[in-house]
Structure formats: C-alpha cells, structure tokens
Structure 1
Amino acid sequence: MSELKKLNTVGFELGKLPAVNAMTDVTGFGLLGHLIELCEASGLRGDVQFDDVPKYPETVLKPYLDQFVMPDNTMRNFKAYGSKATKLSALQLQILCDPQTNGGLLLSVSTGSENEVIETCAANGIAIQKIGSLRALIDGPVVTVS
C-alpha cells in the first residue's frame, strides 16, 4: 500500500537529466502500448526481457490469471497493439497489456548514463529496473518480448 501512496514527483527531476531521451507514465495503454508508441515515435525497436519487468510474484497472480480475471481493457490493449509485438504468452499478454497502473514511468536512457538516473531515483525513494533495450527498427515487430 505504501507504493500506492507515493507521489510521482521524480519525473520532474528525471526530465532535467540529459541522459533521459524519452519518458512517459504508464497508464491505461499498459506497458506494451506505451513502449510501442515510444518506439514508433523514435523509429526504434524495443527488446523487453519479461523476467526483468517488475510484477507481483506469480504465486500471487496465478490464481487470478488462470481464471482470466483481468480488466476488460487488457484485451482491448492487446487488440490495439499486439500485432506490433512478437507472439506473447498468456502471462505476458496479461501483464504487459494490463491497464492498471499507479503512475510508473517508462524511460529511455542513453547507454552509459544509467548511473545518473539510478542515483536520482534512489534519492527520491523510487525503485528503478532496466527491462530491456532499444535499437534501430529495420523490419519486423516494433517490440520483441523474451
């Protein structure tokens, strides 16, 4: 519950850092939708390491996910963005397309400049996690998930 009570004021500080190339709050489009929009606007491909995406332990989620207990907009998000990503497992779909968020931020950070961002987040009591990388989009899906 304490995470839900935190104000998202670190975005202002992060936005001033030269290392931050792009930043968006992850809201109703889910992580996948926001990442695809970021990639398309930048002409890049996103490579996501699903195991690195912060989420509740699978033991907590599994009873609900096995019954497909999820917001209706999860499937709407998948229908809108799923064709622009590699094939997703049921768990990946349910997590990456979930519209329920609490203002988490998705950042694109220059390679080699991560420490400045990590230090800024730590100073503001914010946990940060690298979930993948960006590279030139030549052809194929806009986002790969592995």
Structure 2
Amino acid sequence: MTQSSAITDTPRLTSLSHGGGCGCKIAPGVLSELLANMPAGHIYPNLLVGTETSDDAAVYKLNADQALIATTDFFMPIVDNPYDFGRIAATNALSDIYAMGGSPIMALAIVGMPINVLPKEDIARILEGGASVCVEAGIPVAGGHSIDSVEPIYGLAVMGLAHPDRIRRNMDARPGDVLILGKGLGVGIMSAALKKNCLDEAGYAAMLASTTKLNTPGVALAALPGVHAMTDVTGFGLLGHALEVARGSNLNAAIRLNDLPWLPGVRALAEQGMVTGASGRNWVAYGQSIDLPAAIDDASQALLTDPQTSGGLLVACAPDAVAAVLDIFRSEGFDQATVIGELSSGEPKVRVI
C-alpha cells in the first residue's frame, strides 16, 4: 500500500479515529430517534427545506429569485495524507449544495484537532487541502471555528444559492422516473482496505480521484425540467439514500444490481472481508425496507450498504430526460454515470433485482 504522503514518525491519521469519512455517520435509525422531537419547520414560511425529509441541505427563500442553501459536513480521517484528507472532506461538504441544485458561494472551516499529537504542519496541510477544493469551486473559505479535540475532525459549513424553482429535493420523484447514479461505488470498502494496509497505489489513486471530484453537474441537472429529484450517496450507502428518495416520494424503487458502477477492485476487496462497521449498521437500520434477491452473496450486500464518502449524485428523472442527464454528466467528466433503476407506484421501499 502506498499513498501520496512521505513516510514519517508521526501517527497515521486513520489510526487516531474510530471511523473515517462518511462511515462516521450516526446510524440512520439512531439519527431518526435523535431528530424525532425537532421543532416543525413548516411554521417558518420561507424555510423551503428543513429536517423533515432527510434532504442534503436546508433551503431558505430570500426572495422570488433567490434561495439560500446551507449545509455542514465534517468527519474524521479516511486517508493518512493530510492534504488529501482536507480535499476529500471539502469535496464531500460541497456536494450537498450541488445535490440541491445550487451553486456554492462561501464556506466556513470546522476544525477539531489533537494539537499535542499531530504536527502543526500536518494540520496546516489539512486546511490547505480543503481550501484548494474551495478555490476549484470558485469560493472562499471565509472563516470558521477550531477546537482541540481527541480525534482529528475536519469539514466545512457551506452556503449556496439557487432559484427557488430549481431546488431539487429527494421527495419529488414521480412514478416512471429513471434512476441515474453519477459515480462509482465502493469508497467505504477501499477505506477499510487502506486502514488494513491492503489498498495498492492504483486503488488509492482511484479512490482519491472519485472522492475529490466535485459534483458540479448538479447545477445544470437542476435546470432540466425532466429532473425531478436529486440527492448524493454518502454514509447510508446506495440502498439507504435510494430508500430516502422512495420514502420521501412515496414510491417503490427498483435497483438493478448488474447495472451498478463500481470503483476498480472493490468486489475483490469486499470478498476478502474489507468492509466497514457502518455497512452492517446501515443494514440493521433499514434492511426491513429492502428486498434482496434470495441468492445474493454477502459481498454484494456489503457493497450495496457500503458508506460512500463524497459519493455520486443520485438523480430521478423522466425517461425522456435520460439522454440529457447522461450528456451533462459525461460533459463534466463523470464517465461512470449510468442508469441503475426506476421508480414506480407502490410500497415505499427498495427492491434489488
């Protein structure tokens, strides 16, 4: 296993945390319990999107032509290279804005670091990595907040703008819509292999390329009338986020296992047992709402629930918009974007076929 960092006597970033990337997320079932008593957002007429449907970001209508999109996302290291960790975390946080159909305008850094354990140079490189992604997105890191913490934590609070009519929620899919996924799956599998020193240089490069690729197609996709719903696939895995779309839209989702795009080598890694604890927690949380083929193997189930960090956009669109959606993805370099299933009237659950 190699990474783009030099060998030092300092501890591996991944050794300082009990989990990494979006695999750190609180399990969906537990999260639902924690949010059960949150005040209802509908009492605020300009709050277009709150906590009710597990959308990617909050949205507040400023005026007839502008809506403010706000999100925050942070986690513990998924890789050992400080600069790469910063890049991945920033890309992941920005994804929530794109998934709502918005353009980011500003970010604030969220920093928690074990100051007496990590060299200050490494911490600075984490911040530099995050800032480099914000420069790529055309926005400033305009401030933030830092604390001395036991485990290293980094991420961003991000604000963006969109026209209120172009906000794309995860609850607005329609019967007959086609499901399209923008990136390959398997980041959690790769991160588990990395932590066990079982990810080779090519695998690391593939994981880094995927997790640092900004989901910028979201802006153009939201402008298409045939695109009805969007979300990004992160810590709850493909099945978890597809289920959020199904439940929010009160539809039945069918996902074709053989059509799913995978990052290189992840199936072999899964078959070797390179899975995260979050994958199992995901299944416990929502497995009762998933229909799997009777003969599905353990590796395939682990891949379907695998927590993604900075994963791809999941788009629900009309059948006659599929070509335009794929053209937008491909024009921005998302070569693995592909049709993976469809939505229909029926019980709000996910069927893997």
**For this structure pair, what is the TM-score category when the shorter chain's length is used for normalisation?**
0.7 to 0.9
Residue equivalent to 2:241: 34
Residue equivalent to 2:314: 106
**Worse overlay, 34-43 or 12-21:** 12-21
Contact 1:21 1:109 in 2 (8 A): yes
User: CA offsets per residue over residues 37-92 of structure 1, 9 Å max, x none?
Assistant: 100111111111101111145xx335532343211100010111111011352123
User: Counterparts of 2:210 and 2:266 in 1: how far apart (Å)?
Assistant: 18
More helix by share: 1
Residue equivalent to 1:51: 258
**Cα 1:67/1:109, change in 2 over 3 Å:** same
Residue equivalent to 2:215: 8
The secondary structure found in structure 2 opposite 1:126 is: coil
Contact 1:19 1:116 in 2 (8 A): no
Max radius of gyration: which structure? 2
**Cα 1:7/1:63, change in 2 over 3 Å:** closer
**Cα 1:17/1:83, change in 2 over 3 Å:** same
User: CA offsets per residue over residues 77-128 of structure 1, 9 Å max, x none?
Assistant: 0111111011352123111100033331111011122111112112211231
For 1:34, the aligned partner's letter is H
Report whether the alignment pairs 1:133 with 2:342.
yes
Residue equivalent to 1:18: 225
TM-score when normalising by structure 2:
0.38
User: Counterparts of 1:96 and 1:108 in 2: how far apart (Å)?
Assistant: 18
Query: Which consecutive residues of structure 2, in runs of 5 or more, have no partner in the other structure?
Result: 1-204
User: Counterparts of 2:325 and 2:226 in 1: how far apart (Å)?
Assistant: 7
**Cα 1:113/1:70, change in 2 over 3 Å:** same
User: Counterparts of 1:123 and 1:111 in 2: how far apart (Å)?
Assistant: 20
The secondary structure found in structure 2 opposite 1:133 is: strand
For 1:64, the aligned partner's letter is L
User: Counterparts of 1:98 and 1:42 in 2: how far apart (Å)?
Assistant: 23
User: Counterparts of 1:85 and 1:7 in 2: how far apart (Å)?
Assistant: 30
User: Counterparts of 1:123 and 1:63 in 2: how far apart (Å)?
Assistant: 30
Which runs of structure 2 are paired with 1:47-126 in the superposition (5 Å)?
A: 47-56=254-263, 60-87=265-292, 89=296, 90-126=298-334
**Worse overlay, 46-55 or 110-119:** 110-119
**Worse overlay, 47-56 or 4-13:** 4-13
TM-score when normalising by structure 1:
0.87
* Alignment: residue pair count: 142
Q: Tell me which stretches of 4 or more aligned residues in structure 1 moved more than 6 Å.
A: none
- Identity among equivalent positions (%) equals 36
For 2:325, the aligned partner's letter is V
User: Counterparts of 1:69 and 1:134 in 2: how far apart (Å)?
Assistant: 31
For 1:136, the aligned partner's letter is S
For 1:76, the aligned partner's letter is R
Contact 2:239 2:304 in 1 (8 A): yes
The secondary structure found in structure 1 opposite 2:302 is: helix
Contact 1:33 1:97 in 2 (8 A): yes
User: Counterparts of 2:325 and 2:285 in 1: how far apart (Å)?
Assistant: 31
